[in-house]
């Protein structure tokens, strides 16, 4: 599997607090069958992670993974808040994009219904493609899932995350997340893992459940094929 949303870098946001915690999470991801991870530290008012710091932490992580013999390919991008996506210079956003093209944009409970469309319009003007992270957590999307249809028709991608589908955020978000998969509105499945624990990451178990419910082809698309396009920076039109 390829994980395109993971807070693997240490000491930058609300993810691992130390190198040891970061390596523990990396080990768990490998055990779950993850071969590639895109490290996506928050870029928001609360966690204004400088791109240079993220790059430095990533270089340290790569060296430590090699020293331990952990076979895990990694890249670094960011999980960008809606305000940052609307206000930050294009150059700074491009530096945080997956494959130099796909920008992971965080939708939260309070994100207004109009905001994703504004993000899409702004990014499209410079050739960036928004990947809307965990829209199942967004109240506006839960009330009107069809809001995602025009966004996807215009090239945006939708990423559901394992904690939602595992019920970690409550029944309402659990139901909304599975409805996105059921309806075909979900393009990607990712871990959104912050630390290794007894119940995290949950990507392998959730991916297995996706396969049981919808078949191996759907699991393959959500966890391997579509994520590979992002990492490679391929055109969204290829989906």
Per-residue pLDDT tens digits for 171-215: 999 999 999 999 999 999 999 999 998 778 899 999 999 999 999
User: Mean pLDDT, the chain, as a whole number?
Assistant: 96
| Cα dihedral 23, 28, 31, 37 sign | negative
**Structural domain that includes position 49:** 2-238
**Cβ-based burial of 9 (10 A; exposed 0-12, middle 13-18, buried ≥19):** buried
Helix axis angle, 51-68 to 19-31, nearest 10°: 60
Spatial distance between the Cα atoms of 44 and 48, rounded to a whole number of angstroms? 5
- What's the structural domain count of the chain? 1
What is the torsion angle, in degrees rounded to the nearest 10, for the CA atoms of residue 93, residue 96, residue 102 and residue 106?
Answer: -80
Spatial distance between the Cα atoms of 27 and 193, rounded to a whole number of angstroms? 12
pLDDT band at 2 (very low <50, low <70, confident <90, very high): very high
3-state helix, strand, coil in the chain (%, to 5): 50, 15, 35
Percent of the chain at pLDDT exceeding 90: 95
Residues in the chain: 239
pLDDT band at 20 (very low <50, low <70, confident <90, very high): very high
Stated as kind and residue range, the H or E segment containing 209 is helix 203-214
Percent of the chain at pLDDT exceeding 70: 98
**Contact partners, residue 61, CB within 8 Å, separation at least 6:** 8, 9, 10, 19, 22, 23, 26, 39, 74
Spatial distance between the Cα atoms of 67 and 212, rounded to a whole number of angstroms? 37
Burial 191-226 (b: 16+ CB within 10 A, else e): bbbbbbeeebbbbbebbebbbeeeeeebbebbbeeb
Q: What is the pLDDT of residues 39-91, one digit of tens each?
A: 999 999 999 999 999 999 999 999 999 999 999 999 999 999 999 999 999 99
Q: What is the reported pLDDT for 235?
A: 53
Q: What is the reported pLDDT for 237?
A: 38
Q: Which among 200, 216, 196, 198 has a CA at the least distance from the CA of 208?
A: 216
CB 217 within 8 A of CB 184: no
Q: What is the reported pLDDT for 236?
A: 42
| CATH number reported for the structural domain that contains residue 127 in this entry | 3.20.20.140
Spatial distance between the Cα atoms of 227 and 8, rounded to a whole number of angstroms? 17
Q: What is the reported pLDDT for 194?
A: 97
Which residue has tokens 């559901």?
A: 160
Q: What is the reported pLDDT for 83?
A: 98
CB 83 within 8 A of CB 48: no
């Amino acid at each position: 599997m390829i994980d395109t949303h993971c807070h693997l870098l240490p000491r930058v946001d609300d993810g691992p607090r130390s190198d040891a915690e970061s390596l523990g999470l990396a080990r768990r991801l490998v055990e779950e069958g993850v071969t590639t991870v895109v490290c996506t530290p928050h870029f928001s008012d609360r966690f204004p992670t400088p791109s240079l710091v993220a790059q430095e932490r990533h270089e340290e992580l790569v060296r430590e993974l090699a020293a331990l013999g952990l076979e895990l390919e990694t890249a670094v991008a960011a999980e960008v808040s809606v305000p940052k996506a609307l206000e930050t210079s294009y150059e700074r956003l491009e530096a945080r994009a997956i494959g130099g093209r796909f920008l992971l944009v965080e939708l939260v409970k309070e994100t207004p219904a109009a905001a994703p469309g504004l993000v899409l319009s702004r990014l499209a003007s410079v050739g960036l493609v928004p990947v809307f992270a965990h829209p199942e957590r967004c109240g506006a999307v839960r009330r009107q899932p069809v809001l995602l249809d025009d966004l996807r028709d215009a090239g945006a991608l939708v990423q559901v995350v394992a904690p939602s589908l595992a019920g970690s955020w409550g029944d309402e978000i659990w139901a909304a997340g599975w409805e996105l998969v059921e309806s075909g509105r979900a393009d990607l499945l990712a871990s959104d893992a912050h630390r290794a624990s007894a119940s995290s990451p949950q990507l392998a178990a959730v991916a297995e459940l996706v396969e049981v419910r919808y078949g191996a082809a759907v699991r393959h698309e959500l966890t391997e094929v579509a994520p590979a396009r992002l990492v490679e920076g391929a055109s969204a039109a290829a989906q």
